[in-house]
Structure 1
Amino acid sequence: MIEIVELPELVCIGYEIEADWQDLATLMPKLWQRLFAADTGATSFLEVSSEPAEGRFRELVGFLAAGSTEIPDGMTKLVLPARRYLRLHYEGPLLGIASGFQRLYDHAAATGLKTGDLKLDFGYTPGLTDTRHELHVALEPQPLLLG
């Protein structure tokens, strides 16, 4: 089931890269392994993805943290403001996650919702096993209507 949810401000800490689409399949598993090998004490992991320009993607693999959490060496802190998202619970192989995101974009197009380029994927675990994921696509803010 696809639903609209509102998430609070999220503080994400992790490793960030920018790469072309065709390079992500090779780079992302290595980045996850690097994160899981780091001694962060984290238990809630996510991937934050955006497409800043011309087919290149900016990806952060990391964990949710408190605002005051120290940033480990080599990692980046990313603060995402509170906003609305389309959400889909996905269960299946990791290779199918892209099709889950496509379902969210197709739903947005069919219902007239405007999406941004920000995507969130919660559910990664050490070993990159096939677990349940929560996929989110950011919605553009709606203009205020004055009555």
Structure 2
Amino acid sequence: MKERATVLCVRDNRILLVARLRSRWALPGGRIHRGEAPHEAALRELEEETTLTATGLTYLFQFSGFNTLHYVFFAEVAYQSIAQPSNEIARCKWFAPVKIGTLSTSVPTREIVELFFRHMAIVEHDGSGPMPKQVVDVAP
């Protein structure tokens, strides 16, 4: 099974998605290189694909796709920073969660977004606050 670091960025209740030329929308992320920790791959892929640098990174959960294991992270980015397509990415755009279900995306992208918002609703409802999972320090 392939391993992938997958990154959720949220701004104004919108999720950042990326797409290659003539391809479906997806969450930023990519293959974890040999000897690379999943959080390192998440930081690298986010910057390579969107030019965004995470100011904070939180591990959320693992998601098993058809033949890929996704290590899913929540990335905090500076509010004023602008996502720009880079490397193999042709488009970056922020989408409302309800819009994602109408886009051409992979099944894992839709399900990871749904799981994330379901998790956030539970966390906010029980009062435990946002992101109670493991926080990864990204300071140099």
Structure with higher strand content: 1
Scaled by the length of structure 1, the TM-score of the pair is 0.32
TM-score computed with the length of structure 2 as normaliser: 0.33
Larger radius of gyration: 1
